[in-house]
């Protein structure tokens, strides 16, 4: 019997161990390297063994750093059984196809770059078809069941409290009348955590392969207050990630004295019949809205979703309960930032466009009364901030793109720090007004004169000629006023100071010369004095 470490040795991710026993070869996990452990270019992962020679795989849990290379294993010739718990098998049915989709999208993005650079095309590490085929090899078992993996080699899965379905695996190998016991811990959970059971104990072993990621740290005892905070965090993340749970407004929980579990009691906005009615209405409208966008590019889909909010959703100053969910924007035409951001995510999910809901804290000292939510989207392989609430002017029918595809530097000029982490948005070239930006008054003058000749009534641009303040704005407005007067018009402007976006209006009737654009959510842009 021999044990070979093919992954997660001297690094955190990519768990994969190979046990050679009596002519058979069994893998314990087959994970993908992620984050700082990731090496090589797309599709360059190679195994330290021939996949065709592997007879079985024992999977500890569904996380991609433990399961993510299973489709590649199958793609390269593995046709044995994948033994794991029932919950892990079900979770893998979600996570492996999702991983395949990411591989396909990454390959598509890389090929667009390679095409422009004259480089050869690449293939995804594996495809959705490979992932679906892999699921056919799964053989689910229950905790505590002893199964034969190979003649003379038996296994038992024990709840290890890390993830739904996660397990530590006991292996008994009989050789020459002697039984050797091995234990593979997988990732180990913590005691007294909400929802998950405590890790089970295992009696005795000859050899133990144990996860040691945090083995050098002392963990404080978890109090009931800690448990409630953890549960609140899980609930918050779930609600932000699953906008179709619009009918759940909160929860109560009850701790069972002397037990390792708790009772969770959801609170609902409607009764069961109304929930079903609203679900049908929301699903039908999502389908109607997204069907015309099938076949469009990611950028076209994003723009259409953003404009739907601006054209159809009014900000609800009364902040009614349904305005915090997709129900308000989708069925009532009203919403607050939370409902708007969840609606955008629901539409993007329907369109296959990567999107999450971002959340920032309130700041009462600055007059910011409420937490604020918006979206982070991935378009063309780049991450951007998208805040349709801030673009959703209080004036009906007016479209603004001040917060369309901003990077971190520009976005956080007037947004509070994040409550939950999101991917870094580093591309400054996605800003909607980047192609209509000026650093010199003379360049602006040429474009304004052209717009007035074409009888345009408005002109929006981004000012990059140093900091935008009152004095600079007055100079630009004076320039626009002179050009407008030559055509018998009057000039006025609306300005978003933090984003340095100016909208000029040309009309025959006199109006207020400068209007400061205000965000919703009772947040107001600061006006620089100099």
Mean pLDDT of the chain: 88
Residue 219 has pLDDT above 70, yes or no: no
Mean pLDDT score, 89-118: 92
Picking from 151, 339, 132, the residue whose alpha carbon sits closest to that of residue 249 is 339
pLDDT at residue number 37: 55
* Rounded Cα distance, 490 and 511, in Å: 8
CB 15 within 8 A of CB 7: yes
pLDDT of residue 261: 67
Question: Which among 73, 58, 68 is positioned nearest to 168, based on CA atoms?
Answer: 58
Q: 494-519, pLDDT tens digit by residue?
A: 899 999 999 999 998 776 777 777 66
Q: What is the CA radius of gyration of the chain?
A: 29
Which of 36-50, 71-85, 386-400, 433-447 shows the lowest per-residue confidence on average (mean pLDDT)? 36-50
Q: In the prediction, which pLDDT does 441 show?
A: 93
Does the CA dihedral 47-48-54-59 come out positive or negative? negative
Q: Domains plus CATH for the chain?
A: 2-209 (3.60.15.10), 293-411 (3.10.620.30), 437-516 (3.30.1370)
Residue 41 clears pLDDT 60, i.e. is over it: no
Residue keyed to tokens 């407008």: 484
Q: What's the pLDDT at 346?
A: 97
Separate counts of helices (H) and strands (E) for the chain: 13, 24
On the question of pLDDT at 97 being above 70, the answer is: yes
What are the tokens at 329?
């924007």
In the chain, % helix, strand, coil (3-state, to 5) comes to 35, 25, 40
3-state secondary structure of 254: strand
Helices marked H in 118-262 = 128-135, 224-241
**What pLDDT does 377 receive?**
97
pLDDT band at 38 (very low <50, low <70, confident <90, very high): low
Give the pLDDT of residue 80.
95
Query: 414: closest CA among 427, 405, 402?
Result: 402
Percent of the chain at pLDDT > 70 equals 91
Q: What is the pLDDT of residues 226-259, one digit of tens each?
A: 777 888 888 899 999 999 999 998 888 876 665 6
Evaluate whether 183 touches 17 at the Cβ level (below 8 Å): no
Per DSSP (E only), the strands in 23-161 are 24-28, 56-58, 81-85, 138-141, 146-150, 153-159
Contact 428, 409 (CB under 8 A): yes
Q: Does residue 13 have a pLDDT over 80?
A: yes
Residue of 237, 528, 525 whose CA lies nearest to 390: 525
Token output for 506? 């040309």
Q: What is the mean pLDDT of residues 341-364?
A: 94
Q: How far apart are CA 496 and CA 60, in angstroms?
A: 53
CA dist., res. 153 & res. 386, Å (int): 54
CA distance 513 to 530: 19
Largest CA distance in the chain: 104
* pTM for this model (two decimals): 0.63
Cβ atoms within 10 Å of 498's Cβ, excluding its own: 21
Choose the weakest-confidence range: 402-406, 467-471, 481-485: 467-471
Residue 40 has pLDDT above 50, yes or no: no
Mean pLDDT (whole number) for 66-86: 96
Greater confidence (281 vs 216) lies with 281
pLDDT tens-digit map of 143-182: 999 999 999 999 999 999 999 999 999 999 998 889 999 9
CB 204, CB 124: distance < 8 Å: no
The predicted structure's pLDDT at residue 524: 41
């Amino acid at each position: 019997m021999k044990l070979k470490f093919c992954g997660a040795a001297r690094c955190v991710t990519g768990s994969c161990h190979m046990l050679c026993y009596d002519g058979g070869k069994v893998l314990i996990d087959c994970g993908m390297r992620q984050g700082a452990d990731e090496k090589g270019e797309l599709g360059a992962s190679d195994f330290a063994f021939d996949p065709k020679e592997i007879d079985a795989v024992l999977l500890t849990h569904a996380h991609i750093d433990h399961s993510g290379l299973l489709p590649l294993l199958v793609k390269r010739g593995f046709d044995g059984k994948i033994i794991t718990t029932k919950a892990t098998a079900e979770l893998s049915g979600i996570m492996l196809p999702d991983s395949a989709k990411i591989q396909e999208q990454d390959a598509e993005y890389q090929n667009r770059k390679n095409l422009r650079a004259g480089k050869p095309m690449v293939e995804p590490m594996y495809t959705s078809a490979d992932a679906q085929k892999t699921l056919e090899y799964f053989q689910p078992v229950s905790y505590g069941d002893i199964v034969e993996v190979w003649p003379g080699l038996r296994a038992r899965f024990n709840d290890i409290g890390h993830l739904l379905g996660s397990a530590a695996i006991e292996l008994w190998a009989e050789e020459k009348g002697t039984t050797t016991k091995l234990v593979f811990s997988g990732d180990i959970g913590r005691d007294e955590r909400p929802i998950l059971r405590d890790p089970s104990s295992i009696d005795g072993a000859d050899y133990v392969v144990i996860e040691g990621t945090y083995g050098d740290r002392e963990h404080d005892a978890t109090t009931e207050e800690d448990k409630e905070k953890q549960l609140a965090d899980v609930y918050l993340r779930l609600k932000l990630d699953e906008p179709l749970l619009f009918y759940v407004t909160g929860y109560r929980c009850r701790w069972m004295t002397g037990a390792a579990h708790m009772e969770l009691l959801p609170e609902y906005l409607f009764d069961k019949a109304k929930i079903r009615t609203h679900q049908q209405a929301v699903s039908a409208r999502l389908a109607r809205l997204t069907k015309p966008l099938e076949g469009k590019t990611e950028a076209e889909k994003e723009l259409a979703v953003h404009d739907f909010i601006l054209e159809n959703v009014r900000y609800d100053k009364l902040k009614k309960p349904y305005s915090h969910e997709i129900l308000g924007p989708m069925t009532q035409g009203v919403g607050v930032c939370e409902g708007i951001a969840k609606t955008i995510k629901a539409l993007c999910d329907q369109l296959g466009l990567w999107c999450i809901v971002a959340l920032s804290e309130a700041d009462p000292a600055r007059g910011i009364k409420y937490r604020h939510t918006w979206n982070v989207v991935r378009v063309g392989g780049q991450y951007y901030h998208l805040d349709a609430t801030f673009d959703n002017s209080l004036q009906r029918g007016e479209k603004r793109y001040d917060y369309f595809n901003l990077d971190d530097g520009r976005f956080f000029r007037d947004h509070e720090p994040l409550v939950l982490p999101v991917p870094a948005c580093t591309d400054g070239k996605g800003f909607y007004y980047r192609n209509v930006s000026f650093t010199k008054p003379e360049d602006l003058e040429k474009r304004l004169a052209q717009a007035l000749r074409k009888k345009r009534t408005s002109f929006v641009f981004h000012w990059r000629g140093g900091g935008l303040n009152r004095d600079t704005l007055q100079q630009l407005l004076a320039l626009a006023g002179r050009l407008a007067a030559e055509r018998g018009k009057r000039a006025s402007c609306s300005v978003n100071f933090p984003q340095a976006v100016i909208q000029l209006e040309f009309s025959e009737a006199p109006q207020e010369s400068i209007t400061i654009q205000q965000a919703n959510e009772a947040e107001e842009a600061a006006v620089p004095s100099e």
